[in-house]
Amino acid sequence: MNDMKRIIYVMAFAMTLPIISYTQQKTVQDTFQKEPVTLRNVVVYANKFPELLKHLTQSIKVISDKNTLNNQANTGDILLNTGAVFVQKSQQGGSSPVIRGFEASRVLLMVDGVRMNNAIYRAGHLQNVITVDNMILDRMEVLYGPSSTLYGSDALGGVVNMYTKNPQLSNTGKTTISGTAATRYASATEETRGHVDFTIGGSKWASLTSVTYGHFGNMRQGGNRQSAYPDFGKKNFTVGRYGNTDSAFANPDPDKQTGSNYWQTDITQKVLFQPKAHTQHLLNIQLSNSGNVNRYDRLSEFAVNAPVYAEWYYGPQIRNMLSYQYSANQMTGFFKELRLVASYQDVEESRITRRFKNNNRDSRWERVNVFGFNMDAKHYSGKNELHLGVESYTNYVRSTSERMNIVSGAVSRITTRYSDGPTKMSSNAVYAQHIYKFNDEWTLNDGLRFNLVNMDARFADTALMHFPFTKALQNHAAVTGNLGLVYASTNRFRLAFLLSSGFRSPNVDDLTKVFDTKTGYVVVPNKDLKPEYTYNAEINWNQYAENLSFGGSLFYTWFRNAIVVDKFQFNGSDSIVYQNIRSGVFAPQNKAKAYVAGFNLNLSWKLATYTNLEASYTYTKGKFTNAGITVPLDHIPPAFGRVGLKHGKENWQAETYLLFNGWKRIGDYNPDGEDNQQYATADGMPSWYTLNIRALVKLGKQVSLQAQVENLFNRNYRYFASGISAPGRNVILSLKAGF
C-alpha cells in the first residue's frame, strides 16, 4: 500500500515538472493533436519496401520516437525500455534480445538492410546489438515470429531491423549544413557519453558523419532488496594482483558491481548520390570498437574459499561494415522498384581468461569476414504486388589461441574456440513474396523461399582434444514459406491469420565450439547437427478508435529438430579434463520436438487532450520433449511488460512509467541450457517492478534538455538469465542541440 501511494504521488508530481518551467511559454503545436493513428497511416518496411500495415499479416512493432531511440545507454536498452522485447545481460556491455522465447542466433539482427548474424553467432547470449550506435538510429522495427521467407536463416523468433539516419539532400538549390550534438550522463552506471553528427547536403550529393564515444563505470545496483533475499546480487569481494600473487579483498561497497566498466566508440559515414529524381546510390561505412568488456557474471563466481577467476573479459569487440546500396523507383519495366545491397563486414572478438592464483592467461581470438549481396525487386499490377529477391552471404572464420604465463612470459598451445583450420560457411537463397488485395478490406499474403547452406570446417590440430574427426562438412537445403489473410475494416480494425515457417542451419558456433559455459561444464563439437525448423500459427489484431487503440497477438510455434545443449559423450566418456578441471561433457543436439506458445497485448488510450496511457504485456511458455521426458525450454522469459502515463505538448513532455517482470521459478529453468540458474536465487528469479519518471523540455528551437530518474525506489532486481543486477536509482541528464 505504501508503494502504491508513492507511485500515485510520483505520477502526479511528474506531470507538473515541465509545467513549472513553461507556464509562460507559448506552445507552437500540441504533439497529441496530430492525426489519429489508423491503419491508413502506419507504414512499415518489413517487406523490404514501404507497405501499409493494413496489408500485412505479421505482428510488427515500430519504434520511431527519436527521444526513445537516441536517449538510451545502448541499442538493446531501446528494446528493453519500450517493453517490446525481453533483453538478457551477462555484463553491462551486453544486451541479448529475446523474441517469443528465441534468442541470440535464433533472432536475426539487421542494420540498414545488411545481416549482422554471422557464422559465430552463438545460441547462448550475445552482445552484438550494442555495436549499432543508438544515437544515430532513425527507426527500428521488430518483426515477431518466423520471418525466414524474406530474411532466411536465423529468423526463428523474429527480426530486429535497425535503420540509421541518412544524409539529406538540399532542396533550396544551395549547399546546406546541419547537425546535432548531444551529451548524456547517468549516475548509477557512471555513464558519460558524447555524440556529434552533421550533414552536408547539395542538390545531388549529401554526406553524413557521426561520431559517438561512451564511457561506463562500475554499475551500482539497487540497495532495496526483497526480505527473502537480503544478500542477492551483492559483490562481496574484489580481486587485485600485487607482485606475482592474486589476492581477494572485501568489497567496501557490495552494491558497487566492480569490474563492470567499459568504453565504446562508434563512427558512421554515409555518402548519398542522387543523379536523377528516382535513383539513389548510398555508400555506408560503420565502425564500432570497444575496450575490454569484463564478463561480470564469471568474475562474480566464488568457490569454497576463493574467487574462481582473476580475469575473464572480452577483448575489444570490433565491427567494421562497408555497404553500397542502389535503389530505384517508378521504373517503367516489369519491376517498378529495385534495391541492391552489396556489403562487407569485418568482425573481431576475443575471450581472455585466467583463474584465480593461476599464472596462465588463456586467450582465444576470432575473426570473421562476411561478404553479402541482396537484390530485392517489386512488381505491382492491379490488385497484385510481387516481391522477388536473391540473397548470398559467405563467411570466412579464423580462430586462434594461446596460453601465456604472465610471470615467465612462456607461451604454449591451448584449444581454439572453433575449428582452427580453414572454415567457410555460405548461404544462398531466392524468395518470392506476394500480396493480393481482394478489395479495400481483404488482403492475401503468401510467400516461398528456397535456401542452400554449405559449411566446410577443418580441424588442423586435433592433438589437444583428440577429436575423432578432422573436418565437419554440411550441405543443407530448406524451403520455407508463409500464408496469411488479413481483414482491415474502414482503417480502424485489423484481424490477421498467419501460418509461417522458419529455419536455422547449424553454424560454426554450433558445430565446432569447445567452451566451458560454466565451471565443471564443457561444450564439445557435434558434427552431426541438422537444421532446426519452426512452424508457426498466429492471430494478430488491432483496433483503432478516436481516443483508444489496442491490439495483440496469440501464437503457437512447433519447434522441430530443436538444437539444445544436453549431456553427451566424447570419445566414449561423459567427462573430460578441460583447463585442468574434470568437467561434464555436453554438446548441442537436435531434440525430438519442442513448442513455444504465448501472447502479447498492447494498449494506447488518450485520456485527455494532453495525456496518453500506454501499456504492453507479454507471456511466453516453452517445453521440449526427448526420450519421453519433458523439460522447460531455455531462453523462455517470465511475463513482462510496461505501463506508462505520458503528458505533454510540443515544447515539453513528461512520462511516468512502470517496467515489470513476473517470477521465473527454478522449476521452470532448463537444467542444462542457457538459463544461468547459478546467478538466480534458490527459488529462481523473483518478480519485480520499477517506477521511472522522465521529463523533456525544449529550451529553444534547436536545444532540448531531458531529465529522468530510473528505478526511483532503488529496487534490487535482475533480469531472468542475467549475470549482473540492473542499475539502482539512476539519475540521467541529457542535453541535445541542433545546428
Distances (CA, A) of 703 to 195, 325, 653: 14, 33, 14
Residue 517 vs residue 637, higher pLDDT: 637
Q: Contact, 676 vs 721, CB < 8 A?
A: yes
β-pairing verdict for 640-648 and 611-626? antiparallel
| 173-187, 194-208, 254-268, 581-595: segment of lowest average pLDDT | 581-595
- pLDDT computed for residue 199 by the predictor: 98
- pLDDT computed for residue 37 by the predictor: 55
For range 581-600, the mean pLDDT: 87
Q: 12: pLDDT confidence band, cut at 50, 70 and 90?
A: very low
At 708, give phi and psi (nearest 5°). -150, 155
For range 512-536, the mean pLDDT: 82
Query: What residue segments make up the domains of the chain, in order of their start?
Result: 13-738
- pLDDT computed for residue 3 by the predictor: 53
| 336-340, 546-550, 663-667, 705-709: segment of lowest average pLDDT | 546-550
Task: Please give the Cα distance from 453 to 111 (Å, whole number).
Answer: 22
For domain 13-738, give the CATH number: 2.40.170.20
pLDDT tens digits for range 260-305? 999 999 999 999 999 999 999 999 999 999 999 999 999 999 988 8
What DSSP letter does each residue of 386-410 carry, written as one string? EEEEEEEEEEEEEEEEEEEETTT--
Closest CA to 228 of 722, 683, 711, 691: 683
Task: Please give the Cα distance from 113 to 432 (Å, whole number).
Answer: 17
Residues 6 or more apart whose CB falls under 8 angstroms from that of 693 comprise 10, 11, 13, 14, 17, 654, 655, 656, 657, 708, 709, 712
Percent with pLDDT over 90 in the chain: 77
- pLDDT computed for residue 532 by the predictor: 93
| 1-5, 132-136, 602-606, 625-629: segment of lowest average pLDDT | 1-5
Segments of 251-359 assigned E as strands: 262-276, 279-290, 293-294, 309-314, 318-328, 337-355
- pLDDT computed for residue 673 by the predictor: 80
Task: Please give the Cα distance from 241 to 622 (Å, whole number).
Answer: 45
At 517, list the grid cell: 559455459
Asked if pLDDT for residue 9 goes beyond 50, the answer is no
Closest CA to 384 of 340, 310, 436: 436
- pLDDT computed for residue 38 by the predictor: 58
Task: Please give the Cα distance from 544 to 226 (Å, whole number).
Answer: 40
At 494, give phi and psi (nearest 5°). -135, 130
Q: How much is the mean pLDDT over the chain? A: 91
| 30-39, 545-554, 622-631: segment of lowest average pLDDT | 30-39
- pLDDT computed for residue 31 by the predictor: 39
Task: Please give the Cα distance from 452 to 503 (Å, whole number).
Answer: 11
- pLDDT computed for residue 546 by the predictor: 84
For range 353-374, the mean pLDDT: 97
Asked if pLDDT for residue 11 goes beyond 70, the answer is no
- pLDDT computed for residue 490 by the predictor: 75
Closest CA to 212 of 193, 187, 190: 193
Q: Contact, 433 vs 149, CB < 8 A?
A: yes
Asked if pLDDT for residue 108 goes beyond 50, the answer is yes
Asked if pLDDT for residue 349 goes beyond 50, the answer is yes
Task: Please give the Cα distance from 290 to 263 (Å, whole number).
Answer: 6
| 125-129, 321-325, 567-571, 579-583: segment of lowest average pLDDT | 579-583
pLDDT tens digits for range 210-225? 999 999 999 999 999 9
Residues 6 or more apart whose CB falls under 8 angstroms from that of 5 comprise none
Asked if pLDDT for residue 391 goes beyond 80, the answer is yes
Most confident of 110-114, 571-575, 699-703: 110-114
Q: Contact, 403 vs 361, CB < 8 A?
A: yes
At 644, give phi and psi (nearest 5°). -135, 145
- pLDDT computed for residue 28 by the predictor: 32
Torsion angle of the four alpha carbons 166, 170, 176, 182, in this order, in degrees rounded to the nearest 10:
-30
Distances (CA, A) of 162 to 136, 202, 326: 10, 26, 18
Asked if pLDDT for residue 324 goes beyond 70, the answer is yes
For range 315-333, the mean pLDDT: 96
Asked if pLDDT for residue 438 goes beyond 90, the answer is yes
Q: 39: pLDDT confidence band, cut at 50, 70 and 90?
A: low
Distances (CA, A) of 38 to 305, 420, 546, 603: 62, 55, 9, 14
First-to-last C-alpha distance (Å) of the chain? 48
